[in-house]
Chains A and B, each alone.
With several copies, the nearest count.
Chain A
């Protein structure tokens, strides 16, 4: 299915893009990460346990079921304030 994938901060720099449209068989965050690593090994940083996933503006777990059209954002630990 087609998803919009976004990367922030250090992950954005690592992936070399802020946003991309992908067409993937992945149905969860975990599967999407595996698929992205398969495509380009630089994506291995997404596996780090500190990476947070925000789907359609909500923080979700990696097991969260994805659906077509979702915006999936990969975020390093927050460091605001």
Chain B
């Protein structure tokens, strides 16, 4: 079982990350991935991502470990960028490999849903009117709650 988590300001290549996870273990038939990009519209010019260095990495590691405890995975990868990003640039990559497809797909959904509410990242949007912090969305809480026990609180 290989876990890889990383917080970086540099851009990454999602296809390269996907291929790096593929075909490394012979009993591994399934590779699933999610990547998030800066979405244009509503006058958005750019995003800026702030985080809590040290704590973020621990939170991502914890999320990947939880996924690996819950599903039979071979690899789990979470890469998240910080700093300023233009429209269309990648923000986050989440990937999992597993012997079976359901495990890989569910683990990826789990990791991205939980990451949104459990890892200390904050987004600021820049548009023609200035800048503002993105508010957390109730539906993100609901998506994370799908996976987490009501009383379980993940440590950062």
Determine whether A and B are in direct contact in the complex, meaning some CB atoms lie less than 8 angstroms apart.
yes
A80 engages B156 (CB within 8 Å): no
Do most interface residues of chain B lie in helix, strand or loop, or is the interface mixed? Answer: mixed
A54 engages B55 (CB within 8 Å): yes
Instruction: Compute how far the CA of A80 lies from the CA of B119 in the bound complex, rounded to whole angstroms.
Output: 7
Residues in B with CB closer than 8 Å to A9 are 50, 122, 124, 133
Closest to B122 in A: A9
Closest to B101 in A: A81
Please count the residue pairs between chain A and chain B whose beta carbons lie under 8 angstroms apart in the complex. Answer: 76
Closest to A75 in B: B120
CB within 8 Å of A: which of B10-47?
A: 36
Closest chain-B Cβ to A8's Cβ sits at a distance in Å of: 6
The 20 listed contacts between A and B (C-beta, < 8 Å) are A8-B122, A9-B133, A10-B133, A54-B55, A57-B55, A58-B156, A59-B154, A59-B155, A73-B55, A75-B52, A76-B133, A78-B116, A80-B49, A80-B80, A80-B121, A80-B123, A81-B101, A81-B112, A81-B116, A81-B140
Residues of B within 8 A of A (CB): 36, 49-52, 54-55, 58, 80, 91-92, 101, 112, 115-124, 133-137, 140, 153-156
